């Protein structure tokens, strides 16, 4: 993205932009430390949006499926470790940005499951652990993150599935700063 692209979004009448962002492919696999040059690039794009007064939703996108493909109990500890490490870094880096910046903990969790495993209460419990890890990591960094609006995703971000198995929102230390996200693609 360039400033020109973001200017065009604003000129098109939008007031919010979602930045799908890969973090895992820009991190050292031995310690989960995200590359500082990547942070600077992401910051540049966020700043393009801020220059236009846009709200920004910064997420952790598919990125090889490290989270999306692994909403299952045997990967839960591994994913939560990475989720915590990444979001502590992201939140710390952007902690001084105001309420125009929102964080979204994932993209389409469970959608990348190549086996079509059913998504019931057991997998929802695993996904909720990923959401809690995200929320706690961000809130724990302080600054504006103590009250930043956070976005969590329903399973596969499928509206029907979310309604069926996501029967409550995760617990957050602050009221009114948590949003649920679903995606709807109107297939013909």
Each residue of 108-124: pLDDT tens digit? 999 877 677 889 999 99
Residues 6 or more apart whose CB falls under 8 angstroms from that of 163 comprise none
The per-residue pLDDT for 163 is 94
How far is CA 45 from each of CA 17, 37, 54, 56, 182, rounded to the nearest angstrom?
Answer: 11, 13, 12, 10, 24
Please say whether the beta carbons of 169 and 178 come within 8 A: yes
Helix 3-11 and helix 36-51: axis angle, to 10°? 30
Structure tokens at 177: 């700063």
The per-residue pLDDT for 188 is 62
Q: Which of 115, 112, 181, 179 is nearest to 150 (CA)?
A: 179
Q: Which of 96, 101, 122 is nearest to 110 (CA)?
A: 122
CB atoms within 10 A of CB 49: 23
Please say whether the beta carbons of 133 and 174 come within 8 A: no
CB atoms within 10 A of CB 26: 18
Its pTM surpasses 0.75:
yes
Helices (DSSP H) in 140-176: which residue ranges?
159-165
The per-residue pLDDT for 75 is 97
Structure tokens at 169: 């929102």
In this predicted structure, the answer to whether residue 138 has a pLDDT above a threshold of 80 is: yes
Going by the DSSP 8-state scheme, the letter that residue 182 receives in this structure is E
In this predicted structure, the answer to whether residue 81 has a pLDDT above a threshold of 90 is: yes
pLDDT band at residue 178, thresholds of 50, 70 and 90? very high
Mean pLDDT confidence for 65-83:
96
Helices (DSSP H) in the chain: which residue ranges?
3-11, 36-51, 76-93, 121-139, 159-165
Q: What percent of the chain has pLDDT over 90?
A: 93
């Amino acid at each position: 993205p360039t400033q020109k692209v973001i200017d065009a979004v604003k000129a098109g009448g939008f007031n919010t932009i979602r930045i799908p962002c890969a973090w895992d492919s820009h991190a050292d696999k031995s310690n989960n430390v995200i590359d500082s040059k990547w942070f600077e690039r992401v910051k540049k794009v966020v700043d393009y949006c801020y220059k236009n007064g846009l709200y920004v939703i910064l997420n952790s996108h598919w990125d090889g499926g490290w989270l999306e493909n692994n909403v299952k109990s045997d990967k839960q500890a591994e994913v939560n470790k990475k989720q915590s490490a990444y979001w502590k870094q992201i939140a710390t880096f952007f902690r001084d940005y105001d309420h125009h910046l929102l964080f979204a903990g994932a993209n389409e969790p469970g959608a990348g499951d190549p086996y079509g495993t059913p998504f019931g209460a057991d997998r929802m419990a695993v996904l909720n652990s990923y959401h809690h890890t995200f929320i706690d990591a961000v809130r724990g960094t302080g600054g504006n993150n103590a009250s930043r609006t956070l976005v969590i995703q329903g399973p596969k971000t499928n509206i029907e599935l979310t309604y069926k198995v996501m029967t409550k929102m995760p617990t957050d230390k602050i009221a009114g700063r948590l949003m649920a996200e679903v995606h709807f693609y109107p297939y013909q």
